[in-house]
Amino acid sequence: MVTMVGTESTLTGLVENLLLLEHDAIAAYEQTIERLENPAFKAKIAEFKADHDRHVQELTSLASSIGAAPHREGDAKQLLTTGKVALASIMGDAATLQAMRSNEEDTVTAYERASSHAGATPEAQAIFRRAYNDELRHREWMNNASESA
């Protein structure tokens, strides 16, 4: 799935869409934790989910300060992110982690774009950069773990 998050013309629109994307990601993480068999993989995915929970907290605070809608749940794209995980889980942990890695591609792209958004305040840029670094770490781990699973 290719995301358009990060291409918004306004900071409020960007933050609102990042919140939707984060809620979608959290749903996929929850689905993954339920479906993985390897306890070490489950623990690492739970750690990454905690990063996404923190992203939501930071983005919600930012949304309030700039007048953006503080979305509390995902949107229809959540069906794609969770559905991909559900289907992949039939084939085992490696396929499940590969599905999650492909979901991470969207969050990496979104935060990469957000980090250079023309309307981003210094506070927003700091939030976006932290999240971007988290997403890079998540994607790298999922790539490596799926190859060794």
Sign of CA dihedral 5, 113, 86, 69: negative
Per-residue DSSP letters for 5-23?
TT--SSHHHHHHHHHHHHH
Q: Which tens digit of pLDDT belongs to each residue from 83-102?
A: 555 555 555 678 888 888 88
Q: How is residue 149 written in tokens?
A: 């699973």
Class of domain 11-148: mainly alpha
Q: Summarize pLDDT for 18-69 with one digit per residue, the tens.
A: 999 999 889 889 989 988 999 999 999 999 999 999 999 999 999 999 998 8
Q: Is the pTM of this model over 0.75?
A: yes
Parse the chain into domains and list their residue ranges: 11-148
